[in-house]
Amino acid sequence: MKSQRPKIEPIRNPTLFEMEKLDTAAELTRQPRVERPYSLPGILLGTSAFTANGWEGSFYPPGMKSRDFLSYYATQFATVEVDSTFYRCPSPNTVKNWAARTPEDFIFSVKVPQVITHEKVLVDCDSEFVIDHLNPQVFEFDRWSPFSSIR
């Protein structure tokens, strides 16, 4: 039996981020603490992951261990999208490890877990937000979501 999705009226003007968190991120981009080759004042430039097939030996120095990829990446870019959070929330130890391997001004842009965007469709999901200290957050909805008409 197929589960029924709750009927939800589309939000006319959705606010996906708390403004003070955006202000904090904007302030970090104005005054970078680490000089990076791929950065410009006021602009956060990064990629959709810090690992990819073919990056070893081209972006990452030959022979670099994969455990060192994030630290090296953070010397080149100011932000990275973390796609794995869409499938499950990282453990607190994983997040602490990421923080330990990156400068204080490095920003992780995480995808909100699919349990929130696809299963619960933003209904009764307060307990699922365990990644609230990783910002900004990317909300990716499936095409059948009531939010897909907002684009």
Give start and end residues of each alpha helix (H) in the chain.
19-30, 69-76, 92-100, 114
Q: pTM of the predicted model, to two decimals? A: 0.60
Contact 39, 32 (CB under 8 A): yes
The token pair at 78 is 């100011």
Return d(Cα 78, Cα 45) in angstroms, integer: 6
CB atoms inside a 10 Å sphere around CB 82: 20
Contact (Cβ atoms closer than 8 angstroms) between residue 141 and residue 113: no
pLDDT in tens, 20-78: 445 555 555 555 566 776 666 677 788 888 988 889 999 999 999 999 999 999 999 98
- Whether 101 and 74 have beta carbons less than 8 Å apart is answered as yes
How confident is residue 18, by pLDDT bands cut at 50, 70 and 90?
very low
Residue 60 main-chain phi, psi, to 5 deg: -85, 140
3-class SS of residue 126: helix
